[in-house]
Structure 1
Amino acid sequence: MRRRLIVAFLSLAVAIIALYGVPRVLMVADLVHASEQQYAKRMASMVGTVIDQGGGSGTVNEKLLGGLIIYGERVVYTASDGTTVVAGSDVDADDITGTSIVRSGGTVDFTRSGEIVNERISKAVTPVIAIGAGLLLIAIIAAIQLARSLSRPFLRLLDTVREIGRGNLRPPKQHLGVPEARAIDTALRESAQTLEDRLRREHEFASNASHQLRTPITALRLELEDLSLWPETPPVVRDQLDHAVREIDRLADAISQLLEMARGDAPGATTFEPLAESLHESAARWQGQAHSLGRTIHVAPMTGDLGDAPAAASQIIDVLLHNALTHGRGDITIDAERRAEYVTVRVGDEGTRPRGNAIFQRRPHRRSATAGEGIGLALSVELAESLGGHLLLDGASTTTFSLMLPARG
């Protein structure tokens, strides 16, 4: 902005100086040239008068004419009988000449050197050029100062925007002299206040929802544990109750992770568990639903030790399996491989690969109260990035998701 202001101001200043100075220079040069022409005519008339007062052509000689001129001038007297008397320097093409008729007979040609005329023109236009150069220098200084003055409020606005970007939604107020900058600053602060209120409400909602959900979940878990300890409970039912308790624990962990994400933390990033075991557990959880649909979930043989991955990764695997069962076709395959400090988990089915990456975008208008469609994959992408990994859609012809995660062990 500052550079553009300087260029614009200087362009305007140069245009004004040029529109004033160029005609002025030309006018001064014409005045000097016209003055020299008048001078040549007067000098020719004066020489003719001297010749008349001196007694006519008989007294005219080079010495007499030379005493009437200075350096750069030339006088030619042509008598009535054709006799010519010359005094002074040679004639050039750009010299100025004035002619006068002598009363006693003959003519006088007075010539003024063009070099002297040009010097007089140069001296006359030099002040005009100097004034133009001075005005241009003043314009440069004024342009720099004006550009700094006009851009300073917007640079302060840039600092305000950076503070808001760093998370400080209440940046310190600054004095801005430009009305437009003050209006922008007011709008920024109002937007930051609105954003702060919205974030506060979201954090409060997440905290309240987490608290309200944990209480009944804890009560349900205690009831199931108590029921599994009854002597009348058959072993088969006790196993199912233990399985339900574990699923409730996973639900509580998922709620805690969502709350951490709402606070801007990385949920489950510090808790690791064996990845191979987690993949088999996820496949077992969804195997029953797959069988009810006439489909199967296969876990490919793992080559080498996959190590440990963040515990929250199981939430992403569940979303991918649910997505494959809901929107995919055919059998579902889970495989994984490890390279250096990262492990890649692939979950694919036999359905046609979707076009583009629109499936990773939130689609609230398609979300239902029960299925949660339109948010699962988007939430998984955010969760994967918070764990230091990525969730991508492979380029294969069938639908295959690749989950890259940091691993250890």
Structure 2
Amino acid sequence: MRKRLTLAFVLVTLLLTAAGGVVRTVTLEGLLREREGEHIFREALTLATVVDQRIRQDQRVDEDFLADYAGSDTQVAFVPEGGEAVVVDGPDYRESDDGISSTVVLEDGSLTIRQSGGVIRGLWRDDTSAALILLALIAVAAAVLGYLIAWSMSAPFQRLAVAASALGRGRFDLDLPRTRVPEARAISEALGASAVALRSRLEREQEFAMHASHVLRTPLTGLRLQLEEMTLDDDLPDATRAAAVSCMAAVDEVNEVAGDLVDLSRRGLIGGAQIPLRELATSSAQHWADELGEHGRGLTAAVEGDIELTFTPGPIEQILDLLLRDAVRHGQGDARLIFEGDARGHLRVTVRGHRTSSPESDDLVEEARSVVEALGGRLQSLPGPQGATDLVALLPRR
């Protein structure tokens, strides 16, 4: 977008400059012809005075005499009354339709001075190199100015593209630009509203999943306990006991199906491309190692369990950003990230480090906890080795 805007600005500038140059050329050519016409007219008047005096002195007006007054690019023609014309051409004179001429009528004839049309063209040719240099400078200035304008116009849209990509990965904390461009502002507001709506829907769906799990599994668990208690009765006939055992197996199957449905609803809350756990851990560790490095601190990371499990990166990145921003603000010394994926698809993320204050009252930790709980998980603060504090996020499979 930036390159296209810059190129368009340069082209528009050059076209406007060229159009202005054409108009100016036509105007200047008229002025030059008028000036040269006045100059030729004055020369004709002066030479006519000399010729008139020579005729009065009964001296001949021949080619030798007129040659002294003919310029290199002019023609002098004297037509005596009732006589043959005397014409003298300068060495560079060329007959053309766009030449300039001036005629003075004498008592005994007429005197005409003509100038080649190439004189005007020669004036333009002399300025061609200067005009090209000026045009090149204008193009360079237009390119620089166009790039700055294009950068200022495209920067909000580039940030919006990054925000849209983050929303597609399942993040809610969008970095939206503040801009006066109406189109960019409208897109920014739409993305912000979409993020709020997505998070609200996620929280409602999580509440529904928890409620559905309770409503479905509680009666099934009670029914199975009753059937199990029934099978323990010694007076129960064998056929009835076998039927009760069969019912218990059916209840277990229904309970498993109910659990799968609840898990399926949770996994379907956030879509988007999923990446392996090892890639997620690597990208997060690299980003925050640079961030902590600016504060003179280090960061190490470890991936345990099934490293090929795939996850939607957005929510996990958002949680890590909040916890590691808290580590930058309230931590000291090096930090450590531990990612652990189990066979059931659950993820355990641990941010370990020494703190200067308790995490329980920290705004960033509370915000991270709300995101984790909205995803159906929980965030715990546990004592770590050597006096460190572990902030552990337990996330269900999704």
TM-score by shorter chain over 0.5: yes
Which structure is larger by alpha-carbon Rg, 1 or 2?
1
Runs of 4+ in 1 over 6 A off after TM superposition: 124-130
User: Which of 224, 228, 237 matches 1:225?
Assistant: 228
Matches within 5 A, 1:261-340: 261-264=264-267
Aligned-pair CA distance for 1:161: 1.3
CA distance in 1 between counterparts of 2:37 and 2:132 reads 24
- The AA in structure 2 aligned to 1:238 is R
Amino acid corresponding to residue 81 of structure 2 in structure 1: S
Instruction: Report the Cα offset of residue 191 of structure 1.
Output: 2.4
**Does the alignment pair 1:171 with 2:174?**
yes
Q: 1:165 to 1:183 in 2, by over 3 A?
A: same
3-state SS in 1 of match to 2:152 = helix
What is aligned with 1:210?
213
| Alpha-carbon distance between aligned partners in 1 of 2:45 and 2:116, rounded to the nearest angstrom | 18
The letter of the residue matching 1:64 is F
Residues 136, 177 of structure 1: alpha-carbon distance in 2 compared, 3 angstrom cutoff: same
Residue number in structure 2 paired with 1:59: 60
> For structure 1, which runs of at least 5 residues remain unmatched after alignment?
266-409
Q: Which amino acid aligns with 1:22?
A: V
Is 1:75–1:111's contact at 8 Å kept on the other side of the alignment? Answer: yes
Q: Which amino acid in 2 is paired with 1:76?
A: A
SS of equivalent residue, structure 1 residue 58: coil
Residues 56-97 of structure 1, C-alpha deviation per residue, up to 9 Å, x if partnerless?
462323232122122111112222341433322355133332
Residue 88 of structure 2: aligned partner:
87
Post-superposition shift, 1:171? 2.7
Asked if structure 1 preserves the Cα contact closer than 8 Å seen for 2:7 and 2:143, the reply is no
Question: Per the alignment, in what secondary structure is the counterpart of residue 214 of structure 2?
Answer: helix
Distance 1:231 1:155 in 2: 75
Which deviations, in whole Å up to 9, do the C-alpha atoms of 1:153-172 show, x marking residues without a partner? 11111111111111111134
Structure 1 residue 200: deviation in Å? 1.5
| Inter-partner Cα distance in structure 2 for 1:48 and 1:176 | 75
Cα distance change on mapping 1:121 and 1:29 into 2, 3 Å: farther
- Change in 2 beyond 3 A, CA 1:91/1:19: closer
Identity of aligned residues (%): 31
The residue number in structure 1 matching 2:380 is none
Q: What letter corresponds to residue 66 of structure 2 in structure 1?
A: L
User: Which residue in the other structure is 1:270 paired with?
Assistant: none
The answer to whether the 8 Å contact 2:74/2:114 transfers is yes
Letter in 2 for 1:165: G
**Alpha-carbon distance between aligned partners in 1 of 2:42 and 2:129, rounded to the nearest angstrom:** 27
Match of 2:102 in 1: 98
SS of 2:72 mapped into structure 1: coil
* 1:116 aligns to 2:113 (yes or no): no
Mapped contact 2:160–2:176 kept (Cα < 8 A): no
Provide the rounded CA distance (Å) in 2 between the counterparts of 1:61 and 1:224.
143
Q: Which runs of 5+ in 2 are unaligned?
A: 269-398
Summarize the alignment of residues 6-405 of structure 1 with structure 2, pairs less than 5 Å apart.
Answer: 6=6, 9=9, 13=13, 16-17=16-17, 20-56=20-56, 58-89=59-90, 91-94=94-97, 95-103=99-107, 105-122=108-125, 134-135=137-138, 137-172=140-175, 174-176=177-179, 178=181, 180-264=183-267
Contact 1:25 1:125 (8 Å CA) reproduced = no
How many residues are matched? 264
Query: How much does 1:22 deviate?
Result: 2.5
TM normalised by structure 1 equals: 0.56
Residues 305-364 of structure 1, C-alpha deviations (whole Å, 9 max, x = no match): xxxxxxxxxxxxxxxxxxxxxxxxxxxxxxxxxxxxxxxxxxxxxxxxxxxxxxxxxxxx
Q: TM-score, normalised by structure 2?
A: 0.58
Relative to structure 1, the CA distance from residue 174 to residue 115 in structure 2 (aligned partners, 3 Å threshold; closer, same or farther) is closer
The answer to whether the Cα contact below 8 Å between 2:100 and 2:116 also exists between their aligned partners in 1 is: yes
Q: Is the 8 A contact 1:45 1:101 kept in 2?
A: no
Q: 2-side partners of 1:193 and 1:47: how far apart?
A: 92
Aligned to 1:47, the other structure's residue is in SS state: helix
